[in-house]
Amino acid sequence: MSDIRFDIGSLHASYASGMSAATIIETVFQRIAKADDPGIFIHLASKADLFAEADALGGFDPVAKPLWGVPFAVKDNIDVAGMPTTAGCAEYAYLSAKDATVVARLRAAGALVVGKTNLDQFATGLVGVRTPYPVPRNAIDPKLVPGGSSCGSAVATAHGIVSFALGTDTAGSGRIPAGLNNIVGLKPTVGALSATGVVPACRTLDCVSVFALTVDDAYSVFRAAAAKDDVDPYSRAIAAPPLGPCPPALTVGVPAKADREFFGDAAMQAGFETALRTLEQLGCRLIEIPFGDFYATANLLYEGAWVAERYAAIADFMDVSEAAMHPVTRTIIGGARKLSAADAFKGLYALQAHKARLAPVIASVDLFCVPTAPTHYSLETVLADPIVTNSRLGTYTNFVNLLDM
C-alpha cells in the first residue's frame, strides 16, 4: 500500500473505492519507518489512538467532513490535546489540555493528527537546525538544511507521511521549508487562522501556515480551518471562496533586476527567471519594482522591536532557564534585553513609514512573484555561520510578515 497517493483528492477516491482508514494509518507508519528520520517528529500518536479516532468518524462522508480520514501533522508549538507542547525546548514543555483552535477545526472536518513535528526552537530560525532534537533531513538532499522553523512539518509532508501539516510563519517559516523540500507552503494573512493555543514568537506577526502536496490541498485545508475566533484578539474574518479560474492578464510585480539577490547561486537565479518567462507565456504582464524599501522593511525584523517581542513571549521562561535554550536561539532572543521601550517605538515608526511608501506600490499590481529563497545552504555551511546564512534565507520572506502581505 506504499504507493497510495496522499493528496486529498486521491485519498478520498481510495476511501470511496472501499479502502479503510485503518489501511491509511498503517501506511502512515510504514512511511515513517521508510523515511528512517528521527528528527521529523517529536511526538507520535499511537496506532491505537488513531484507529479509535478514525472509527469515531463514522462512514466516509466528505461532504459533512471535507477532510475525512486525512492524516496530518502539527508543528510542536501548536497545542494538541493529550500531547506535550515543547516549542523545540524540552525544559519548556507542558501537557496540552485541549487542541489549539485550528487543530480542533481540522479534526472537526475529519482530519487525523499523526503527531507533532520538530522545529527551530521557539520558531526562531529559517534553517531547521536550531533544535535540541535530531535535525530533520531535507527530503531531497540530506546534505542540505531542511529549512525552518517548521522543518519537521515540511519534511513529513514532502515524504508523503501525511497529506498536509501545520506550521507557523513569522518571517518565512511556512514558506522557506516548503520551497527547500519542493512542496506547497501557504502563509495566510495575520489572523485568518486562529492562533489560540499557539506558542507565540512575535504575536503581532505570527500566522499558522499550511504545508501540502498541492495548491488545491493547501487551500482546502485553509478553508476548513479559517474562522473568526473571538478568543484570539488578532483574529479576523477572512473570505475563503472556492478557487476559480485565474483572471486573465494579471499584472505581476517582480524585483527589479538590479535588486535581485541570489548570493551567487546561479541555479536559483536561473530557476526564478524561468518562472518569470512562464508567467509571461501565461499572459501575465511583469512590472519591475525597486525593492530597496522592501529589504529595508525586512531588516527591522531582527534589529529592534520585533526581537523584543520574541523575548516578551518567553521572558518568564528565559529569565530562569536560559541555559536550557539552544545557544543560537539564546543569543538572538537574549539580544532584546539591551533594547528600550524607545527602541520599540522607533521600530514601529520606521515600519509605518515603510508601509506608507509601499502602499501605492503594492496597490499597483495584482500580485508579486519573488523567489521563496535566494539560495540553499548545506548543513555544514549553516553550522559554520548560523546567523548570516539564516538571514540570507529570509531575503524574500521577512518583509511579507511586517507588511502583512
154/260 same-domain check: no
- Give the residue ranges of DSSP H helices in 326-378: 327-334, 341-363
269/364 same-domain check: yes
Domain final residue pick, 176, 208, 225: 225
Range of the domain at 67: 8-225
151/287 same-domain check: no
284/378 same-domain check: yes
Grid cell digits, residue 393: 534565507
| pLDDT value for 243 | 87
Give 287: exposed, middle or buried? Use CB within 10 Å, 0-12, 13-18, 19+: middle
Dump pLDDT digits (tens) for 146-167.
Answer: 999 999 999 999 999 999 999 9
Dump pLDDT digits (tens) for 320-345.
Answer: 999 999 999 999 999 999 999 999 99
User: What mean pLDDT value characterizes the chain?
Assistant: 97
256/218 same-domain check: no
The reply to whether 330 falls in a domain is no
Q: For 170-185, what is the mean pLDDT? A: 98
The reply to whether 243 falls in a domain is no
Active site residue 355: no
| pLDDT value for 248 | 86
Q: For 104-118, what is the mean pLDDT? A: 99
The reply to whether 344 falls in a domain is yes
170/105 same-domain check: yes
Q: Cα torsion for 380, 384, 388, 391, to the nearest 10°? A: 40
The reply to whether 235 falls in a domain is no
pTM of the model: 0.97
Dump pLDDT digits (tens) for 295-315.
Answer: 999 999 988 789 999 999 999
Q: Which of 187, 108, 104, 95 has its CA nearest to residue 150? A: 187
Active site residue 257: no
43/185 same-domain check: yes
C-alpha span between 99 and 113 (Å, rounded): 11
Annotated catalytic residue within 14, 96, 149, 163: 149
The answer to whether residue 1 scores a pLDDT higher than 60 is no
3-state helix, strand, coil in the chain (%, to 5): 45, 10, 45
Annotated catalytic residue within 65, 75, 116, 187: 75
201/290 same-domain check: no
Dump pLDDT digits (tens) for 259-292.
Answer: 999 999 999 999 999 999 999 999 999 999 999 9
| pLDDT value for 2 | 65
Which residues touch 275 (CB under 8 Å, ≥6 apart)? 369
Band of residue 89 on the pLDDT scale cut at 50, 70, 90: very high
Active site residue 228: no
Annotated catalytic residue within 150, 173, 194, 220: 173
152/33 same-domain check: yes
Total domain count, the chain: 2
Give exposure, 382-394, as e/b (b: 16+ Cβ within 10 Å).
beeebeebbbbbb
The answer to whether residue 213 scores a pLDDT higher than 60 is yes
C-alpha span between 226 and 220 (Å, rounded): 10
Domain final residue pick, 210, 225, 240: 225
CATH number at residue 20: 3.90.1300.10
C-alpha span between 321 and 178 (Å, rounded): 32
The reply to whether 310 falls in a domain is no
56/170 same-domain check: yes
Q: Which DSSP string do the residues of 251-272 spell out, in sequence order?
A: EEEEE-GGG---TT-HHHHHHH
Dump pLDDT digits (tens) for 13-24.
Answer: 999 999 999 999
Q: For 226-250, what is the mean pLDDT? A: 93
The reply to whether 181 falls in a domain is yes
The reply to whether 134 falls in a domain is yes
Residues of the chain with pLDDT > 90, as a percent, come to 95
296/152 same-domain check: no
Domain final residue pick, 225, 260, 294: 225
213/256 same-domain check: no
The one-letter amino acid code at 25 reads I
The reply to whether 40 falls in a domain is yes
